[in-house]
Amino acid sequence: MRELRIGDLARATGISVETVRYYERIGLMPPPGRTQGNYRAYDRGHLERLNFIRHARTLGFDIAEIRSLLALAAQPATDCAAADAIASCHLTAVEAKIASLEALRAELTRFAGQCRGGAAADCRVLEVLADHRLCTGEHRLQTPEGPADTRRPAPR
């Protein structure tokens, strides 16, 4: 099988050339051999490793986790429990993130899209942001009697 240039590797995995070089720089990919013209020359092992990395990134594992998983995969005799622990821990984190985003969605649906076309002074969105207690269901305008913007305008 022919040697692979970095662009071949990129096309084969869907990872950009710059990112492949970045992975090498941070030690996630081993430095490949070089051609006479100083081009990186990859083999099938590199391709498989990069695919492994891509799959793991797609699943949301961070670089440190991937490093550990690669180390475990490189030693087939070790106990698999460590790999399972990483995955389970990651699953828990994903579930937590989903929960917090769902809470966010609940709050946003409470006021987004409720525009009645009025002026900003009556805007439900801006009201809620100005006084977060409104999120809990109350509905009162917070703009004080004086103009809300006695402060200087934001620079820039």
Partner DNA sequence: CTTGACCCTGCAGCCGCTACAGGGTGCATA
Partner DNA sequence: TATGCACCCTGTAGCGGCTGCAGGGTCAAG
From 103, 102, 126, select the one nearest 114 (Cα to Cα). 126
- Number of Cβ atoms within 10 Å of the Cβ of 125: 14
Q: The tokens 């690669």 sit on which residue? A: 70
x/- letters, 22..61, toward DNA (CB under 7 A): x------------xxxxxx----------------x----
Site residues (CB under 8 A) for a copy of itself, limited to 88-107: 88, 90-91, 94-95, 97-98, 101-102, 104-105, 107
Please tell me the count of residues contacting a copy of itself according to CB under 8 A.
Answer: 91
Beta bridge partners of 40: 34
Look at residue 96 and give the partner it binds from a copy of itself, DNA, none, a contact being a CB closer than 5 to 8 Å depending on partner kind: none
Torsion of CA 123, 125, 127, 131, to 10 degrees: 180
* Site membership for DNA, residue 17 (CB under 7 A): yes
* Site membership for a copy of itself, residue 28 (CB under 8 A): yes
* Site membership for DNA, residue 62 (CB under 7 A): yes
Tokens of 131: 């006084």
Q: Residues 12, 22, 34, 62: which binds a copy of itself (CB under 8 A)?
A: 12
- Kindly tell me which of 19 and 143 has the beta carbon lying closer to DNA: 19
Query: What is the maximum span of the chain, computed from C-alpha positions, in angstroms?
Result: 78
